Amino acid sequence: MKKIKLLVLLAGRGAVGKKVRVTVRELANELNVSPQTVLRLLGEMEEEGLIDRLVEGKRTFVEVTPEGAGFLRDLCDEISKALSTGVIIGEVVSGLGEGAYYVKQYSPLIREYLGFEPYPGTLNVRVLFPKTVFDALCNARPVIIPGFTRGGRTFGDVKAYRVRIDSIEGAIVIPSRTVHPPKIAEIVAPFKLREKLGLRDGDRIRIEVVE
């Protein structure tokens, strides 16, 4: 793990395709390890062909080799796949109190497009894994609930992504004009999920995105 962190650190310093000057002490401080550990890691990485190293007196220059860059590219691809599993781990949080109003406005369309009568409110979940709501939904196809005008007020389109929580079907809804940051998932379901699942603020839940 330290070796990977060091390789990423070197790449972040611009050492891909060219040699950059580094100091063992600075690298050690950033990795929170001893200088001796950094020297050992650099030696191992050089033997494995991940880096080229040039020492001129007290100056050290390091370059991430094409093999090292390829390793990082493949690692990035694997991480992207891991984060696109369609599973969200989150923490229940209190909302802004506006969910009930908007669910009532969209209720007929939710019945039509998602096939269930929504409880007038949403469950708000702070996403802990992956990084944002959008990371978990990137491979899922949304159901577009069309906007409408009522009483002189315009309600925009809503993207709905079908999800499952403990066998309960629901949907993450993302309004076109959401006030929630991408770390918060708003979930509509046929039930009041807090009561159905016995949830309180701070509880961890697992959300499965239904393809």
DSSP for 131-150? SSHHHHHTTSPPEEEPPEEE
Helices (H), 13-119: 24-31, 35-47, 66-83, 99-114
As given in the structure block, the two tokens for residue 122 are: 């949403």
Q: How many CB atoms lie within 10 A of CB 118?
A: 22
Number of residues that make up the chain: 211
Q: Is the dihedral of CA 179, 183, 189, 191 positive or negative?
A: negative
- Using only C-alpha atoms, the chain has a radius of gyration, in whole angstroms, of 24
- Say what percent of the chain tops pLDDT 90: 68
Between 80-84, 114-118, 192-196, the lowest mean confidence (pLDDT) is in 80-84
Half-sphere exposure of 173 (CA within 13 A, CB side): 27
* pTM of the complete model beyond 0.75: no
At 166-184, the pLDDT tens digits run 999 999 999 877 666 688 9
**114 DSSP 8-state letter:** H
| Identical fold, 2-83 and 87-209 | no
Q: Using 50, 70 and 90 to split pLDDT, how confident is the model at 162?
A: very high
Average model confidence (pLDDT) across the chain: 90
At 73-113, the pLDDT tens digits run 998 878 777 666 688 999 999 987 788 899 999 999 999 99
Amino acid at 109: L
Domain topology for 2-83 = Arc Repressor Mutant, subunit A (1.10.10)
Q: Name the CATH code of domain 87-209 (choices 1.20.1250.20, 3.40.50.720, 2.40.30.30, 3.90.550.10).
A: 2.40.30.30
Query: Environment class of residue 126 by beta-carbon count within 10 Å: exposed (0-12), middle (13-18) or buried (19+)?
Result: middle
Looking at residue 208, its pLDDT comes to 93
Give the CA angle between residues 84, 6, 29 to the nearest 5°. Answer: 120
pLDDT over 80 (residue 203): yes
Torsion of CA 148, 150, 152, 158, to 10 degrees: -30
- Domain chopping of the chain, boundaries: 2-83, 87-209
